[in-house]
Structure formats: structure tokens, C-alpha cells
Amino acid sequence: MFTGLVQAKGTVTAAENGRFAIACPWDPASIALGASICCDGCCLTTTEVQPYKGGALFRLDVSDETLSKTTLGSWREGREINLERSLKAGDEMGGHLVSGHVDGVATILSVTPAGFSKIFEIEVPDALAKYIAPKGSVALSGVSLTVNEVSGPVFTINIIPTTLEVTSFGGLKPGDSLNMEVDLIARYVARLLGQ
């Protein structure tokens, strides 16, 4: 489990046939082999860890299913991604419960300055639209965000400067794709209601 509060930005240093290497600023001794790390919203397992340029390099093996249902199939060397380690007992729950199981891929329609922040207009697949509610939570590329307005499969989020700086959102533009995980509570309520 995760909270959607990004702890570091990582960089893809290798991407080939579902095998990835990610550079990050963490101490390699602090990353256990087999650890779950949320990488741009996907819960993935470390298969190798080593020191790298004052930080760490960890490797991941990703299934064809994950490659086809997320943005990972388009990852290339140099891509910046959001990273979060899994929760430990006693950790602060500052975002919302995030499983790292991606429900679909959303697309940025527009980015508009609004004072010191930016409004992102996001479109989701029709099947996921019912899970998006004004003032509800959504995880986009592993970032816990609050939904502003909703109109069918389109919704808006307001990103403050700190989030733009510490996550990959600062470099995103219209047309970019995001891994999306709907709120766990919304998912189970819909299931209970038979939707």
C-alpha cells in the first residue's frame, strides 16, 4: 500500500523488453531486494539494487499485461518518473490509500495557469468516469490528487508549485498519458451497488 505522496523522482536508465533500470537518490542499502516501489503509479518489485552516482539503481521486470494496460510500454531511457516506497506501520497517511494497481490510462487535455498553480484537464476512459467525483481522490502517475470539477469522462485537478516541483507533473503537457488508479472506496462502493 502507498499514500500517493511522491518521495523522489527517478530516471529510467534502461528499458528493454519489459526490463527497466531506474536511477534514484535513495541509499541503495535502504532498498531491499524484492521491495515494492510505486513507479509512476504502478506497484513493482525490485529484482536488483546497486549503488549508482551517489544514489541507487534498481531493476524491475514487468509483465506483458502491465506493459499493455499502463504507460510503461512507452517508457524510454531518460524518462522521469514518480517514486514512492510502500507504507510501514506508523507512517503518516497524508494522501489517500493507493494500491499501485493501475485501472487505466488517462490523457491530459490542457494545462492552464491559475494564479501560482496550474489547472490540468484530464480525460479518462468512459468505463472509469463513474469513479470520479468532485472533491474525491484520484491517483495519477502515483500522485494523490483532489478532483475539482467533473463533466462526463473529463475532470480537472489543481496542481500547486510544490507538487509541480517534486513530481513529474512540472514537465507534463497536453497529450501526455498518465497511469490512473481510482479511489479504492469508490471502486468497492460501485461493486456493492452492482455497477
Question: pLDDT band at 168, cuts 50/70/90?
Answer: very high
Question: pLDDT band at 195, cuts 50/70/90?
Answer: low
Domains of the chain: 8-85 (2.40.30.20), 104-192 (2.40.30.20)
- What pLDDT does residue 18 have? 94
Q: Which amino acid is at 129?
A: A
Q: What is the mean pLDDT of the chain?
A: 94
User: At residue 57, does pLDDT exceed 90?
Assistant: yes
Question: pLDDT band at 131, cuts 50/70/90?
Answer: very high
| Per-residue pLDDT reduced to its tens digit, 16-43 | 999 999 999 999 999 999 999 999 999 9
Report pTM: 0.93
Q: Are 79 and 12 in contact (CB under 8 A)?
A: yes
Q: Which amino acid is at 26?
A: W
Q: How many CA atoms lie less than 13 Å away from 86 in the CB half-sphere?
A: 16
SS (H, E, C) the chain: CECCCCCEEEEEEEEECCEEEEEECCCHHHCCCCCEEEECCEEEEEEEEEEECCEEEEEEECCHHHHHHCHHHHCCCCCEEEEEECCCCCCCCCCCCECCCCCEEEEEEEEEEECCEEEEEEECCHHHHCCCCCCCEEEECCEEEEEEEEECCEEEEEECHHHHHHCHHHHCCCCCEEEEEECHHHHHHHHHCCC
